[in-house]
Amino acid sequence: MGLPVAFFGVFFGYPVVAIVARGFKADGTWRFGRFGEVLAQSDIRHVLWFTTWQALASTALTLLVALPGAYVFARFEFRGKQVLRAVVTVPFVLPTVVVGTAFLALVGRGGLLDDLWGVRLDTTVWAILLAHVFFNYAVVVRTVGGLWSLLDPRQEDAARMLGASRFAAWRRVTLPALAPAVAAAALMVFLFTFTSFGVVQILGGPAFSTLEVEIYRQTAEIFDLATAAVLTVVQFVVVGVILAVHARTVRRRETALRLVDASVTARPPRGAGQWALLAGVLASIAVLLVLPLGVLVQRSLDTPGGYGFGYYRALTSADGAVFLVAPIEAIGNSLRFAAAATVIAVVIGGLAAAALTRTGRRTPSLSARLVRGFDALLMLPLGVSAVTVGFGFLIALDEPPLDLRASWILVPLAQALVGVPFVVRTMLPVLRSVDQGLREAAAVLGASPWRVWREVDLPMVRRALLVAAGFAFAVSLGEFGATVFIARPDRPTLPVAVARLLGRAGDLNYGQAMALSTILMVVCAVALLVLERVRADRIGRIGRIGRGDRIDRTGEF
């Protein structure tokens, strides 16, 4: 556990503490009274209120739209299901700036709705809420649907045989088992929307600002580190509470009903009602998820001279560009940075998951609580202000022995912080399912710890490791909040390039932003299709060798 702790201490804790300390300390004196001064400002209170209520509204709307989809993916078997599962996951791994761009092309000025009916939703809260549903649909489908597909339907059938109606059987048997998963999904959606940055910045305009957007404005535009530090601490406390509740909820979910192989619970739709439900879910996916992405592609091809690849060809030229290099170089930069970040995330996350598995099995209650606390801390980079982390990198890592401001590794390090939680969440349940007796038997036969891991653990977790690496690569490609501070002008990443192109007037810049967003979307979609195939093979293999409550329960993410 030493290396993961050191990594998070140096590249997460230290930069965050450094930026917060600079905001609270002046002339060598700590000034904690700034809390009251900042929180007393009416505009800051408005930001806190808007951040909270839009997150609650986004969470409720996402659950309303996505829970029927979770049921369909869990209980129905239909042609194209594997591809469709990858499609609904694409928005989740897209950069928030690309999500904002897609909805800008759909509901913004000159967007599809504006052209057809004169309807514009940009600079309104509805655009933000719909974009959040687009972004978080997969969280509910995979978290709730993943558990739903493993619940034994025969328990509900038994309740109906005893006289319960279909709804009563679902309410008394299935709903209590699903409740922890629904709560866990709701908490994660609330977390992601509470810390929303790119979506609000692009679609909200100056009228709407979340905590994350306000932190960025205070640090990058106003340079008021005191206000930014107060808001960072507030966000840190809220995120800490959410993650603590989420960890408790996940533990409840893991003790739910006896689980079965997912392959035996799904069946083709039967009857008009089930076919109507499937059609409704497919229609909602088409409108809310596929249409924005389709409009994104359409806008990237719609040039002043007619449909073609003019905007894509313009990416190869640096003439009049926002950067010191041709925008197309952002593709190579992003791929290289994401590959390096993936290696770092897999190493750190894999070691952390292995340490949590080993220590969690044989520690007393106090130590076990500390282990669970470290497990929750690994999730903090998903909720703590990425803007603060990025700016903290510039402030904290600016002198020997950690003067990394001019080093290319700075961007992969920031991206790896976001990738590690996905690696841990994917690897940990699989590692915990490995029979400890196999490890002990290998050790008794003289195998070293390294050989035990190579001969026992690795064959069982190889596919999970590939899935973890794939998710780490996808989220690293899309990291924006921290990278916007530390990416050099001659080495922009795709999300940074898209944001800066959107910030410049002109059809060419807008078209290039759409083209880069489309390229990034395609890369993410291909990666997820590969992951879906690996995931399906892994779950099928586990289903064949699993027994009862040993069925894989990774929670999809």
Burial of 34 (0-12, 13-18, 19+ CB in 10 A): middle
CB 528 within 8 A of CB 89: yes
* Whole-number pLDDT of residue 251: 61
* Whole-number pLDDT of residue 279: 94
Give residue 545's pLDDT band: very low, low, confident or very high (50, 70, 90). very low
* Whole-number pLDDT of residue 373: 64
Burial of 508 (0-12, 13-18, 19+ CB in 10 A): middle
Q: Would you give the distance in Å from CA 399 to the centre of its chain?
A: 32
pLDDT in tens, 387-439: 788 888 888 887 777 778 778 888 999 999 988 888 887 887 777 777 677 77
The average confidence (pLDDT) of the chain is 80
Give residue 506's pLDDT band: very low, low, confident or very high (50, 70, 90). confident
pTM (predicted TM-score):
0.80
CB 208 within 8 A of CB 333: no
Question: Which amino acid would we find at residue 168?
Answer: A
Rg (CA), the chain: 24
Q: Is the pLDDT of residue 295 over 80?
A: yes
Q: In Å, how far are 66, 121, 183, 186, 254 from 249, measured between CA atoms?
A: 20, 36, 7, 11, 9
Q: Is the pLDDT of residue 324 over 50?
A: yes
The residue-averaged pLDDT of 192-213 equals: 84
Phi, psi of 164 (to 5 degrees): -75, 145
Partners of 267 in the β-ladder: 76
* Whole-number pLDDT of residue 392: 83
The CATH class for the domain spanning 2-550 reads: mainly alpha
The residue-averaged pLDDT of 174-191 equals: 85
123-137, 179-193, 269-283, 514-528, range with the lowest pLDDT: 514-528
pLDDT in tens, 47-76: 999 999 999 999 999 999 999 999 998 888
* Whole-number pLDDT of residue 343: 94
* Whole-number pLDDT of residue 340: 94
Share above pLDDT 90 across residues of the chain, in percent, rounded to a whole number: 14
Phi, psi of 220 (to 5 degrees): -90, -30
Strands (E), 305-445: 306-307
* Whole-number pLDDT of residue 360: 52
Give residue 339's pLDDT band: very low, low, confident or very high (50, 70, 90). very high
* Whole-number pLDDT of residue 535: 61
Separation CA 432–CA 450 (nearest Å): 18
Separation CA 251–CA 233 (nearest Å): 27
Separation CA 372–CA 244 (nearest Å): 10
Q: In Å, how far are 304, 317, 512 from 328, measured between CA atoms?
A: 21, 8, 9
